[in-house]
Structure 1
Amino acid sequence: MPLRALRHSHSLLPSKRSGRRLLAYLLAGLLATAPATASTEQYGFDLPDIGTAAAGTLTIAQEKEFGDAYMRMLRASKPIISDPLLSEYVNALGHRLVANANDVRTPFQFILIDNQAINAFAFFGGYVAMHSGLFLHANTESELASVMAHEIAHVTQRHLARSMEDQAKKSPLTVAALVGSLMLAIAAPEAGIAAAHAATAGTIQSRINYTRRNEEEADRIGIDTLARADFDVSAMPRFFTRLADEYRYASKMPEYFSTHPLPESRITDSRARARQYPQKRVPLSPDYQLARARIVARYSGIAAESAMDWFERKLKKASPAEKQSLNYGVALLHIDARRFDEARTLLTPLIQAQPNNRFFIDAMTDLDIGEKHFDKALSRLNDALANQPDNRVLLLNRAYTYVKAQRGQEAIPALERYTHQYPDDSNGWFLLQQAYESTGTHRDGELAAQGERYALRGQWSKAIRNYTQASQLVELGSLAQARYDARLDQLRHQQARFNALKDR
């Protein structure tokens, strides 16, 4: 399922300037909720539970509220990868780590941003975002997991809230200068650092030092989480070392180093801590290799010819276990270039060997749709859903196939159930909008589905406009109108709460 087609249109986005202004207001609201004085507790490196010190600044409920608001802004300002396969993979991997982490107080959600720069960041409410470029530099699943475990520790130890508390000790003017760009600095380091230049040099240095303490703590806790989850704990220092060596003499450092200072002492310490755990050989992860191949083929930001060259170079020295993922990646490139015969030659033996592998089912669906073999695709998907009736990847693929086959009416009931169960998944709303549109008789449903996509980006006025129009199109006093009007009330309430964040 080529989810690149499901990304939001730039016409739906606010300007970058307005998004950043709202972000500054959001963080100013955070500052307004903080107490005038704060605890002077010093955070020792080996203390077992130092994350609870932030309780005086923000409650968990407030963190969730700010996290939801920032996630909506992120959807509107960053190219979020809405690929169901990759979302399924990173969330399965992330929740495996969360299940083995301590001090988990919030649900977690893991998202991918289409950006080849090396970066990852965590923010309020249990959200962890990773750039797709991480897959190009992490050679194993354990290395990717080490980055995720580190970010999970930032959330469980409430480092962002603790940073707020730390800033509350400074003068109001200095706090305003730094806090106004804090969240922006996490997601877009260069912009955040530029904003921070308005503050004093001494305050900047103290903030850097505080961040380094957080980084050291996140490393320590992250390594422990890796061990509990049966990953290779040496993956963290190995990944750090390779990044440091690769960029030692670079004129421009990766964004990752802007938000994750990497001095030699930190690498040495992570290596020493990893040695305290039993060393284990972790087998190759087929799912990671397939996800990585999908990233290279579709989300690496490099030309198709360069991606093909990457796969061909890897194939020359690949083990048999690695070849299937590399051939899968090559097949995706063939599909996207409409070289369907070449793609089928590669995919047929893969899916014959693993008929329930969702990466291969998804690729074969793309291939069948490309050749307009819609019934063939639907038959395969229905067989797979008989064994995995609630799998989101398969449900979305089937809906996508119905829409591409101009059979939107058959997709609507399933998509209505899907969007009710997963209201935060923009894929479901996009497909439901397309399905309604294809019928030519459900303009109200089309407007409502598009309105939900606006709401997921915090574009409340547009969402309210769409639902108002939908309500006007249906029969006066009907159940449909009552439903639309009830949703309008909810959207206005959400808009008021969202706006209140910047007015606190």
Structure 2
Amino acid sequence: MNFKPLTLSLALGMLPIPAIALGIEKIELPDMGDSSGSLISPLQEQELGEAFFRNLHAQIEINEDAEIQQYIETIGRQLVSNSDTPGNPFHFFVVLDDSINAFAGPGGYIGVNSGLFLLTEAESELASVMAHEVAHVTQRHLYRAFEAARKLSIPTAAATLAAILLGTQSPELGQAALIAVQAGSTQFQIDFTRDNEMEADRVGMQTLVDANYDPRSMPVFFERLQQSTRYYGQGIPEFLRTHPVSASRIADTRGRADQYPYRQYPDSKGYLLTKAKLRVLTTSDNQSTLKYFQAHENQGTPFQRAVARYGIALVHLKSQQFSDAEKIFRQLVAQYPNQPQFAAALARTALDSRQFDQALKLYKQALHYFPNDVAIKIEFIETLLKTGYPEPAKQTLATLNTRTRKQPIYYELMAQTQAALEQDAESHRYLAEYYYAKGQTEAAIMQIKLAKQAKELNFYQQAILNERLNFFIREEKQRKQNH
């Protein structure tokens, strides 16, 4: 097979080009007559974004910890509500990868790698990167990039874009994806210009200021990125090799930031606690992580010292040293009764140590004080299922917000709940949705077929199962046509 060359021209970017999932059927890129990309309909944008996110689930490890997800959504919503298009839908998530990376996809899907999160030294630095990504979406930079491929079908363009992103992360995966692109495709050029990047910096900084974050954090973090490259030698991360942070870019953002009066911007408690949890979650060497937190146990403000103790207790919990973890978490709950993360951690310790009655009691107490906390609700549901209470689990699932009910964890918990209620067809149906959300369409098809084998299906159930089976089969067929 012969392939026309792919050209990638990226200038001074904070982003890699995003991957878009393969297999959206019957959608053609419109012939966009202007650079705004305004002729892409909201429905097309939504479908592109959802497909992009499913594809990511199939390729990389996306965080499913409800507390971490809750935090990244909170800071994201704060930024979006102060952007120039506050009504646009956005979706924020953390990728569990230690490389320094962040990216924006269609439909407002913004990903931040745990490696970049942990590199930040202040919440405003994290917000500056996210604001930059938000600006790439609001200024339609992604859709300007599609103009060169406006005659391609979505699956073909998606395969090409996916190949580019995968090529920056893994040469082997990238080559495999490139081979999947059909022969004879139009030459595909993507050009995030220097003007795009400057515009994203400028618009992002204004969003940062309006959202009450420190504008000086943007040049500070850019400078740290630039300085960090000198320590990598030949092993410099691909992100920093292909997306350099220049001195002129730092100077430009610093000049803009200096126009605002200086003041202190304290980090939120959520930032400090989420960063500590991410460090424990993504570091395999428990001993070195423990030493890190112990070194900070007597430094900083009282709450910063509490965060260090929280990190120590999380390491104990991860190491199954339950009594040590419980002791610290109880102290933290007593000291900070208004902090939901501490209450949840204490209950989770009881759950992991198989003290189920105690775990139920602690989760009920936590929900009494924090009735709208999604993370606590999800862990409470898991506890109810483990202790044989599927009906209350189902009732609690019904109280989750719309954003959470679109995430894989919701479908997984619904499948477990329906199985516990001996509703086999519904259990397989929700498990199908779980696999589909994770980018595993063949597994979704299998689950729908299993659901259809259940006895005594009513007309409504049959109709839903037939519709979803046909939808999954069409999408899988469309995906395979590009291989």
2:212 alignment counterpart:
230
Shift of residue 227, structure 1, vs aligned partner? 0.4
Structure 1 residues 378-397: aligned runs within 5 Å: 378-397=360-379
Q: Which region of structure 1 is more displaced relative to structure 2, 116-125 or 306-315?
A: 306-315
Q: Deviations over 1:293-351 (max 9, x none)?
A: 000111x2431112112212233533322111111111111012111221122111211
SS class of match (1:247):
helix
Q: In structure 2, which of residues 443, 458, 461 is the aligned counterpart of residue 483 of structure 1?
A: 461
Structure 1 residues 4-19: aligned runs within 5 Å: none
Percent identity over the alignment is 30
1:33 alignment counterpart:
29
2:444 alignment counterpart:
463
Q: Which region of structure 1 is more displaced relative to structure 2, 347-356 or 376-385?
A: 376-385
Measure the CA separation in 1 of the matches of 2:404 and 2:353.
Answer: 31
The answer for unaligned runs of 5 or more in structure 2 is: 1-17, 182-186
Shift of residue 499, structure 1, vs aligned partner? 6.2
1:277 alignment counterpart:
260
Conserved 8 A contact 1:126-1:155: yes
Q: Deviations over 1:122-163 (max 9, x none)?
A: 000010011111222001110100110011001101111011
Letter aligned with residue 221 of structure 2: F
Tell me if 1:287 matches 2:270: yes
1:376 alignment counterpart:
358
Structure 1 residues 79-478: aligned runs within 5 Å: 79-104=61-86, 106-165=88-147, 180-186=159-165, 189-191=168-170, 210-248=192-230, 250=232, 251-257=234-240, 260-298=243-281, 300-415=282-397, 418=400, 422-438=404-420, 441-476=422-457, 478=458
Measure the CA separation in 2 of the matches of 1:265 and 1:423.
Answer: 44
Conserved 8 A contact 1:114-1:131: yes
Q: Deviations over 1:85-138 (max 9, x none)?
A: 000000000000000000346311101111011100000001001111122200
Shift of residue 381, structure 1, vs aligned partner? 2.2
Shift of residue 258, structure 1, vs aligned partner? 5.1
Shift of residue 75, structure 1, vs aligned partner? 1.4
Letter aligned with residue 474 of structure 1: K
Measure the CA separation in 2 of the matches of 1:407 and 1:331.
Answer: 29
> Normalised by the size of structure 1, how large is the TM-score?
0.80
Letter aligned with residue 189 of structure 1: T
Conserved 8 A contact 1:67-1:126: yes
Q: Aligned pair in 2 of structure 1 residues 164, 191: CA closer, same or farther (>3 Å)?
A: farther
SS class of match (2:112):
strand
Q: Deviations over 1:23-82 (max 9, x none)?
A: 5777x998x6243x855xxxxxxxxxxxx62225x3333222111111111112211111
SS class of match (1:473):
coil
Measure the CA separation in 2 of the matches of 1:410 and 1:110.
Answer: 29
Measure the CA separation in 1 of the matches of 2:96 and 2:462.
Answer: 34
> Normalised by the size of structure 2, how large is the TM-score?
0.83
Shift of residue 396, structure 1, vs aligned partner? 0.8
Measure the CA separation in 2 of the matches of 1:177 and 1:493.
Answer: 19
Measure the CA separation in 2 of the matches of 1:151 and 1:475.
Answer: 50
Q: Which region of structure 1 is more displaced relative to structure 2, 240-249 or 374-383?
A: 374-383
Q: Aligned pair in 2 of structure 1 residues 503, 370: CA closer, same or farther (>3 Å)?
A: closer
SS class of match (2:415):
helix
Letter aligned with residue 357 of structure 1: Q
Q: Aligned pair in 2 of structure 1 residues 191, 162: CA closer, same or farther (>3 Å)?
A: farther
Letter aligned with residue 455 of structure 1: Y
Measure the CA separation in 2 of the matches of 1:380 and 1:437.
Answer: 25
Measure the CA separation in 2 of the matches of 1:22 and 1:224.
Answer: 29
The answer for unaligned runs of 5 or more in structure 1 is: 1-19, 40-51
Conserved 8 A contact 2:22-2:51: no
Conserved 8 A contact 2:452-2:465: no
Conserved 8 A contact 2:21-2:53: no
Letter aligned with residue 276 of structure 1: Q
Measure the CA separation in 2 of the matches of 1:488 and 1:258.
Answer: 49
Conserved 8 A contact 1:75-1:456: yes
SS class of match (2:36):
helix
Letter aligned with residue 281 of structure 1: Q
1:78 alignment counterpart:
60
Q: Aligned pair in 2 of structure 1 residues 143, 184: CA closer, same or farther (>3 Å)?
A: farther
Root-mean-square deviation (CA, aligned residues, Å) is 3.5
Q: Deviations over 1:423-475 (max 9, x none)?
A: 31221222233344456x34333322211211213434432332332232131
More helix by share: 1
